[in-house]
Every structure is written in structure tokens, then in C-alpha cells.
Amino acid sequence: MSIKVDNNSINKTLLPSGLRDQLPPHAAHEASVIEGIIKTCELSGYERVKPPLIEYEDTLFSGPGKEMINSTFRLMDPVSQKMLGLRSDLTIQVARIASSRLGHTHHPLRLCYTGEVLRVMPDDLNPERELVQVGAELIGEDNPRADMEIIYLAYDALSNAGVKSITIDITTPALIPKLVEEMGIGSERGPKLRAALDKKDPSAIAELAGENSELFIGLLEAAGSWSSSIEKMKTLSLPKIVSPILERLEAVAPIIAGENGNVQVTIDPVESRGFEYYSGLGFSFFSRGIRGELGRGGRYILNGDSTVGSCGFTLYMETVLRALPNPIVKKRLLVPHSVNRDVLISLRKDGWITVSLLKKVDSLRNEAKRLNCSHIFLEGKTEKI
């Protein structure tokens, strides 16, 4: 019995929305850039970890992971009959490793990582749902030096990779929640007010904040270059409960801006989208003319333990690669099938990518063009085509 398949009914090359194949030379280019970023982290004392792709959902969604519930694919484990989550963010897993498997080791911990994540829905600026993240976490210290180390490390990783015109936007994700709580803004108005601040909607802010509207609109208008932003916030009647946040901001921003004249530093005190699990300063990296964030990071509470200071960053390779020049095609050398292995090994040691013919051809030059080779190996010498 045979089964007839209608090949026209299914497009076998079709992938789910937001997923794509990475083809030559871009796949190799991405891998090379990632390894360069990891190398920058390792040279600063950060050790590499590799979490699994899937975890039990009760561990994946513990601590800061609870903010990722709605963006995570879930499935049933046929072995344990428990629900699993397909990671949508690597920071959550590294936090778990730091607090459990490495909880007994020396602190501060410096960890770096890379891997794919999968999101249920893409964000507004990026149509991909399968993303590649590279990042680092500094765990066990809560002071301005730790914040600055992470920001510098992310900047150096991007700069060493070749990204130009980098802007650092520093945020204070804990500021608005503390103000909302301190001013007794109810549980119904509070989330709406935060959403209005994220949307930069003054009329909605005025309506939701009531008698405190002048303060919140003042914070909205304080966004801008780091120096003017700090000065504007100093003129506002902010309660003492948020003083530690502003003191940390004032300790970090001037130094980051002052030690590198090539980087622009801005502050947005009301931005909170994407920073839901951050408990201290947050930051985002941008490059002039490039759509979307290159990466983001900040300070967070490690799996509910407020006594362990943790901060880190994650770079989004899809955006980072858009900020880099096109990959340089390396020299590819077409080698006749008669060349022996010792010669091939010698050529590779000299930096050539060798493409060996498997049979005799009429024209080495024509075959080299067909196989995207820049040179041919003829009579013991390399020749450019």
C-alpha cells in the first residue's frame, strides 16, 4: 500500500512566525561576534555557564522569573508528567544557578553566558521570536562600583565587537513603584499610572496622579542628558524613601559619562517597560541609526533574597549584528582533488579556507566562481581569480 502525498499542499520550507534559518556567511559571523563578546567578559574575570534549554516551570518562574510567565512557551514532560518552560530569558536561569549550584562558592560571582531563547510573542521593534542572548552577571555586591563594572563591561563588549555611536540610557525602575506606594495611589490606579508614564502621556498622568500630578509630570520632563536630568530631579519634592535611588544614580551616571567622552549618557526616570524585575538602576544600550536596543541590564533581587546584590546585562544579538558592518568573506581557496593532505594542512595553518574538489573539472577558475572561492591552488601556488 502506498500513500500519496500532495507536495503542493505543504510548503516544506515554511517556518513558524518569528523563526528563521541562519545561512552562510551570517551564521559564522554571528558565532564569531558572540565568541568575541564572551572573550571580553572572560578577560574581566567572568566565568562561562551554560543553563539547559528547558526547565520545570516552578523553578523557571521563581524569583525574578515570575515576570516572564506570559512570554514563555510551556509543555508537558512525558517522563515526569510535570509542566516545563522553554526559556525566554537567560538571566533568570543564571540567577538560579548562582543561588543554588554556586551558592556556596566565593562571592562576588562573575558569570557570563550565551544561548537561544524563545518568546511567545515578538516585541514591537523585533519580529523574531527566537533570539540569541549574550550576557554577564555580577552577584554578591550592591554598590556603585558593581553597577559601573557591569555597564563598562557591556560597553566594552559592544565597542570591541565594532559597534559605533553607543548611547547608554539609565533608568530607575524602582522609583515609580516606590512613589506610587508612598503616596497611597490605589492598586487600581497604580498600574494605569505606570502605563501612562511608559507611554509618556501627560494628560493621562495628570488624571491618574491627581494632586501628585505635578511631581510625576516633572519626572517625565526630567528625561534627557544625564546632567540636566539629575538637576531637574533635584528641584522636585521627592520623598526621602527614594533618596537611595537618586543617590545611586548621581554616583554612577557622571562617572560613566566622564570617563569616556565617546559615549552619550541619558537618563529616563520613569521608564519601566522591560525592567519589571529590576530593583535598582537599569540601563539600555542603543546605537545611532539602529532600530531597537542593543541590550539592557540592571540590578535585581536574586531569587527573592534581598541580601544578595545582583546586577548584570543581556545583549540582543539580532540588534547587535544590525549595528555591525557586513561580514568579511574570508579567503577561500579551491584545491584540485589530486593535492595531498599534508599540503591541505599546511595551507590551513597559513590561514586559508580550503575547498577540495572531489573530482577533476574542466576549469578551476569557473569552478572556483561557482563555489564562491576567491583563489585557486595551481601548480603549488595560490592565484587570485
Amino acid 313 reads: F
CA angle 180, 143, 274 (to 5 degrees): 45
Contact 297, 315 (CB under 8 A): no
Look at residue 304 in the predicted model and tell me its pLDDT: 58
Q: Where are the domains of the chain?
A: 21-163+290-326, 174-271, 332-384
Look at residue 260 in the predicted model and tell me its pLDDT: 67
Look at residue 144 in the predicted model and tell me its pLDDT: 95
Look at residue 271 in the predicted model and tell me its pLDDT: 86
Please state whether beta strands 264-268 and 224-225 pair in parallel, antiparallel, or not at all (unpaired).
antiparallel
Element at 226 (helix H, strand E): helix 226-234
183 φψ region: left (φ > 0), alpha (ψ -120 to 50), beta (else) = alpha
- Residue 168 phi/psi, 5-degree rounding, is -110, 120
Q: Report in angstroms the alpha-carbon separations of 341 from 333, 337, 354, 371, 375.
A: 14, 10, 11, 20, 18
Look at residue 1 in the predicted model and tell me its pLDDT: 46
Cell of residue 15, nine digits: 517556518
**Residue 254: how many CA atoms within 13 Å on its side-chain side?**
9
Q: What is the pTM of this model?
A: 0.88
- Those residues of the chain that have pLDDT short of 50 are 1, 3, 5
Look at residue 61 in the predicted model and tell me its pLDDT: 86
Task: Tell me: cis bond preceding 108? Omega within 30 of 0 counts.
Answer: yes
Look at residue 306 in the predicted model and tell me its pLDDT: 57
Contact 113, 134 (CB under 8 A): yes
Residue 86 DSSP SS3: strand
Amino acid 73 reads: F
Cα-atom radius of gyration of the chain, to the nearest Å?
26
Q: Taking every pair of C-alpha atoms in the chain, what is the biggest distance, in angstroms?
A: 86
Contact 92, 57 (CB under 8 A): no
Contact 281, 295 (CB under 8 A): no
Amino acid 184 reads: G
| Terminal alpha carbon distance of the chain | 54
Burial of 262 (0-12, 13-18, 19+ CB in 10 A): exposed
Task: Tell me: cis bond preceding 25? Omega within 30 of 0 counts.
Answer: yes
Where does 21-163+290-326 sit in CATH, by number? Answer: 3.30.930.10
Q: Percent helix, strand and coil across the chain, each rounded to 5?
A: 40, 25, 35
Alpha-carbon gap, residue 54 to 35, rounded angstroms: 23
